[in-house]
Amino acid sequence: MKMINIACIIDDDPIFVYGVKKVMEIINFCDSIMVFRNGQEALDNLKAIIMSEDALPDVIILDLNMPVLDGWQFLDQFVKIPCKKKIVLYIASSSVDPADTLKAKSYEIVSDYIVKPISIEKLTTVLNDFKQVG
């Protein structure tokens, strides 16, 4: 069964990041966690990791509303980077706008749209889905 080695959280809300990290620890979600505070920081760092062929995250949890580069802008740039590894990406947003959910489905890399807050049950589903794919 495939396990999550590295998870990546891209979100500018320190309270959300803290909560998700705690839930990840409780359910033994992954071995390590990367955190980026905005899309630009994440894009710059992930691009550098891809170029150096270092260990990339298996799963990315992406917020939509962030400063500098928002989630949509991050996605538009990230999908253009050639990457050998398949990364599973989930959008986590407080937005319940059907247009956001529909737009998320237009990205092949996006596995699901999760409305915040993220529960233990939802992260357990993400973990189980990841294990079954591998």
Q: Look at residue 134 and tell me whether its pLDDT is greater than 60.
A: no
pLDDT of residue 80: 95
Q: Is 6-133 a CATH 3.90.1150.10 domain?
A: no
- Computed over every residue of the chain, the mean pLDDT equals 94
Q: Look at residue 1 and tell me whether its pLDDT is greater than 60.
A: no
Q: What is the mean pLDDT of residues 38-53?
A: 95
For the chain, what are the domain ranges?
Answer: 6-133
Confidence (pTM): 0.95
What is the rounded CA–CA span in Å between residue 115 and residue 122? Answer: 10
**Residue given tokens 């359910």 in the structure block:** 27
Identify the H or E element spanning 24.
helix 14-26
